[in-house]
Structure 1
Amino acid sequence: MNLEHFLKSEAPGWMDDKGLDADIVLSTRIRLARNLEGYRYPLSFTEQEAKQIDGVVSQAVLNINNDKRIFSHFTIKEMPLLQRQVLVEKHLISPLLAKKEKSASVLLSSDETISVMINEEDHLRIQCLLPGLQLLETYELANKLDSHLEKQLPYAFNESFGYLTCCPTNVGTGLRASVMMHLPALTMSKQIKAVTQMLARFGMVVRGIYGEGSENLGNVYQISNQVTLGKSEEEIIDDLQNIVVQIIQSERGAREALLKKSKVVLEDRFNRSLGTLRYARVMTSEEAAACLSNVRLGVDVGIINDVPLSVLNECMILIQPGFVQQYAGTTLQPAERDIFRAKLLREKLNVNRQSSMEKGEEKYDV
């Protein structure tokens, strides 16, 4: 497949609104860090070594192509910066890979559920993404690909320490499991700080929507494990699963409490946000994310009935700076992006509204 297939604005498969606990859990991600024996790590290798690793790993992945999941290979240096940014915004590559100047590449599965990043922080990183809460299923998908590659590639492995990685915090299993969660009620009720502190005690970490170093946007958080050494993959998955289930229960409890305490205030908040998205002429990404978060919560609790989650998922991708400029077909200054972003949101949400009205689905309270 060509790169244009992966640059389209439609929400990727991992944002399917039919996943388990999709009202709170947007997606599940498994990432496995691996290196090849006999090569220096990306921090210190030469351009020639980088090219050798890229060739060896790419061929190994392409060797396992099948009819169900076809991989396409793309070289990072050959991509314009805007296209790299779009792939980051769709979570198909990491921000670090997007900045690489030496030979680095990515192999993407046709359904966008699997990325193999080459010469990022490690020689290769296998990333698998599925919608909703599917930790075991996502791990099995990543592990299957990892097992295929391990038969072809000489992984750097130590009997005492496990898989060897560039950063010591990834040594051992090399496994980072994470769940992307929408937690507006815990945020609004100011309980999110206590949740973060609780997670730290259990060896978990809370990050922003794009992982390490990124900020919370639209009340979306990534919950992931910090420990990769001294625990098996199964233990890491089980621990995170148990924690996430507790957070889901806490978020649902917080939503019920907010509705019980101030339903009319929430109805006003949700509908004001929807009105802003449908009629505003200028919109920053932060404001757009906040409004989308409010509307999503309104849909989840049954107050807003005429906006499908699939449309909100697409808008979450659409509001990002890279996508806004891709739609515009040119590089835009921040103020220009804010105007064009508002235009895109008006079009998406009002087209959907018109469709609902034509079908007789839109209801009004009198």
Structure 2
Amino acid sequence: MPYPEFPSDCRSLLCKYLTPELYDTLKERRSRYGFTLDDLIRSGVANPDSSIGVYVGDEESYDLFAPLLDPIIREYHGVDPEAGHRSDMDPSHLDVADPDPEGRFILSTRLRVGRNLHCFPLGPAIARRERLIVECMAVDALKKLEGDLAGTYYPLSGMDEETKRRLIEDHFLFKEGDRFLEAAGLNREWPEGRGIFHNEEKTFLVWVNEEDQFRIISMQKGGDIRAVFERLSRAVGSLQRQLTFAYSGRLGYITSCPTNLGTAMRASVHIRLPKLGRDREAFETITGRFHLQIRGIHGEHSESEGGIYDISNRRRLGVTEVEAVKEMAEGVKALIEEEKRRGA
């Protein structure tokens, strides 16, 4: 396709950094899986209201299209991608207390990481056969989890209505992706090759072949962040002993969306802040200081209900997992203190 014409009000990082000259430089490049510049920018072109606008199809494309991707990564994460990345998921290094020991504000804590298999294309470029192979490898690895991590895998294809109802009630069932993922090609052959795993206690969950091949999730009610992190660390460690995940010393764990590079971690709480929520400027001042994102109760692109918000870390590249979780915990503590100051 020719250089795309973006509307004048487009504010995505794709719009900001893709010039006609850069498009001409990159347009003939093709990865070993056949991924092109047009594939990379397809979602952002179809959805000019995107905040980022690119989805990557394989590990190689991060180098192949670096002249476009590196500035996007640099602006989003606030670090130079050439600085390198360091991982640390050792729970003994995480010194945090429950920010809400009385249980007045934090409804639940949820930590998740994204992972993709080395030497497989990512979701935007993966073929049907490869996706099914990924699912088989995931199921085999998940079956070997033991103790409190042991559980059951539920494929989305052919799922019976009772299982579907229960997973919806538990807020576990992920749906076909939104228009941004649709345009990126992440919804192909839906729901084939996708599924959900969870343990008996419903504190550990894995999504298979959603936006990334693995979304590994630890969660529980309340604000015991360290306990949630410890469970996640054990789970990731067990899966890494069986599977080889895509990792770069420059960019950390490789994901289809550049915002999830590095730790590929989203550390979040559902928290009730009705008074602070009415003062958006003060709310955003605190979250900005601790590099946190504010989302509605149903996640990205949703609104708050009953003064409940989803608060999570924004920085993922250039910080370790321990550092990201600690920063989130400190920010949540500051939010609670401000809510109390306002009479909560």
TM range (shorter): 0.5 to 0.7
Amino acid at match of 1:114: F
Q: Distance in 2 between matches of 1:207 and 1:78?
A: 32
Q: Which residue of 1 aligns with 2:323?
A: 235
Q: Calculate the TM-score normalised by the size of structure 1.
A: 0.60
Counterparts of residues 105-120 of structure 1 (less than 5 Å): 105-120=195-210
Q: Which residue of 1 aligns with 2:301?
A: 213
Q: Which residue of 2 aligns with 1:9?
A: none
Q: Which residue of 2 aligns with 1:52?
A: 133
Aligned residues: 235
Bigger RCO of structures 1 and 2 (CA < 8 A, at least 6 apart):
2
Q: Distance in 1 between matches of 2:236 and 2:215?
A: 10
C-alpha displacement of 1:198: 3.1
Q: Is the 8 A contact 1:122 1:166 kept in 2?
A: yes
Q: Deviations over 1:222-269 (max 9, x none)?
A: 10011110001111111111111111111222235xxxxxxxxxxxxx
Given candidates 65, 82, 86, the residue that maps to 2:146 is 65
Q: Which runs of 5+ in 1 are unaligned?
A: 1-18, 257-366
Q: Which residue of 1 aligns with 2:288?
A: 200
Q: Calculate the TM-score normalised by the size of structure 2.
A: 0.63
C-alpha displacement of 1:210: 1.8
Amino acid at match of 2:264: G
2:246 is equivalent to residue 246 of structure 1? no
C-alpha displacement of 1:21: 3.7
C-alpha displacement of 1:146: 0.2
Given candidates 257, 266, 271, the residue that maps to 1:176 is 266
Q: Distance in 2 between matches of 1:226 and 1:140?
A: 21
C-alpha displacement of 1:162: 1.2
Given candidates 121, 129, 137, the residue that maps to 1:40 is 121
C-alpha displacement of 1:154: 1.1
Q: Is the 8 A contact 1:22 1:131 kept in 2?
A: no
Q: Distance in 2 between matches of 1:165 and 1:244?
A: 27
Given candidates 120, 124, 148, the residue that maps to 2:238 is 148
Q: Which residue of 2 aligns with 1:28?
A: 109
C-alpha displacement of 1:84: 4.6
Percent of residue pairs identical = 28
Higher CA-based Rg: 1
Runs of 4+ off more than 6 Å: none
Q: Which residue of 2 aligns with 1:224?
A: 312
Cα distance change of structure 1 residues 142 and 252 upon mapping to structure 2, 3 Å threshold: same
Q: Distance in 2 between matches of 1:59 and 1:134?
A: 31
Q: Distance in 1 between matches of 2:306 and 2:212?
A: 31
Q: Is the 8 A contact 1:21 1:133 kept in 2?
A: no
